[in-house]
Structure 1
Amino acid sequence: GGVVVGFLGGGACSTCHHYLRRWLEQKFMITDTVGVVSLHFVPATIAWAAGIVKIAPYGGPERGKWAGLDAAAAQTRTLPFGLEYSVVFMHGEGTGDTAKYQAILMPVCMCVGLAGGALTGAIMKKIKGPSVARTFSDSIFWKVPEDFKLTEDIQKSDERAAQMKQQKKRRDERMMQGAV
């Protein structure tokens, strides 16, 4: 089961990194620069759903060798506080409670993560950092070689050339619209 879930997660990860990233950029103007959605969220969602499906039928007799108070001494080697797995899995008496808690787990984690991200974003907006132009230079943070300035100048001239090319393209598009 785990190999299949891993295979599905890996396939979804690769596919989403290619297609979902572009769709998010086009539809919502969200740039997923490090692949958080495609590389983490999508495979985690697949594993979460598989976990719910796998745990749903388990209960009383299926709890295995760790069930009951007679296994508490052995459990302390695995679980440092001597908790039974039935306690850890919250009412694992075969009533399906574990699957319900598993189903609630991801939305709760998403809410906590989104709230934390929103708070961090709000704090970061208040912090004044270096200007955007200076953030693309290592020289404000590190000691750099003498010829580093030459590298920066080459990059700036490449950026200027790209800007001029873009301006020319816009001008040509405007001229074409005017001719139509």
Structure 2
Amino acid sequence: MLDALRAAPATPAFEHGARIVTRGEPLELIRRLTDALREAGLGPGRAVAVRTEVTPEAFAAHMAAHVLGCRVVGIRPGYPPGQLEHVLGMGVDAVVVDPATAMPRLLRAGTPLSLGPVPGATDLLARRHVRPDCHQVKQIGQIGRAMRVRQDIRHMRVATGRRSSRRGPMTWRC
């Protein structure tokens, strides 16, 4: 699936209402959500329940969980209470919801994660996630030669907080 998205990033992948989403958009979103889910403690063998509306963002979240090696279960609307309890009682580590599908029982089942603002859940789309393999590129000296410095997230946060305006331009590249 990821190869198909990469092969033609400008080709439409989804029509969601009046919105046309190219293949490159969910590919980038899958990358961001993979980082966000990893940051939330998910990884190989962890169980993720997904109860969202059908959107490109929901597709990306589902794919991101698979990329991490998670066990993914989709919870369709209208599950009878007994069936919902059975699915959620099977060791779910996290539940992904969106504002339209969030309900208290889902948010109590595991770590609550959301695709949009939901009280009591971490919004995976709201935060800008910095990848741990990013590196700092800083223009230095009069000749403008770039210097590459590898840092982890903790060091990047410290470095950006202490940055002086007298230094040359600085960017982050992943």
TM-score range, shorter chain: under 0.3
Greater fraction strand: 2
TM-score normalised over the length of structure 2: 0.25
Greater fraction helix: 1
TM-score normalised over the length of structure 1: 0.25
